[in-house]
Amino acid sequence: MWKLTLDYTTTEDPRGKPSAVCSRSYSEQKDELLVHRFRLVDDDGRVCGEGVADTCGDERAFAPLDDFGVGAWGCSSIEYWQPARQQWEEL
């Protein structure tokens, strides 16, 4: 389960624009499970959007990229925030 929180493709504002895009399985009642921050990145290394997901360590961690990022924005990778290392890490 995932949802996008910021869209950088439709604004020049470096803070991004709020987004309402989410997985089909998303439910506001389960919002507290979305604790893993991710960002979708295109071939040029440009961050197209950020969001939160319920997993970052299995096949489902690719869902935001597969479900939305590739088709909508042409993204080629997904990165998850690693709090222990204080850095983004590509899956």
Could you give the number of structural domains in the chain? Answer: 1
Q: Per-residue pLDDT for the chain (91 aa), expressed as one digit of tens each?
A: 999 999 999 888 888 899 989 999 999 999 999 999 999 999 999 999 999 999 998 999 999 999 999 999 999 999 999 999 999 999 9
CA–CA distance, 83 with 91 (Å, rounded to integer): 15
CA neighbours within 13 Å on the CB side: how many for 75? Answer: 27
Range(s) of the domain holding residue 41 = 2-90
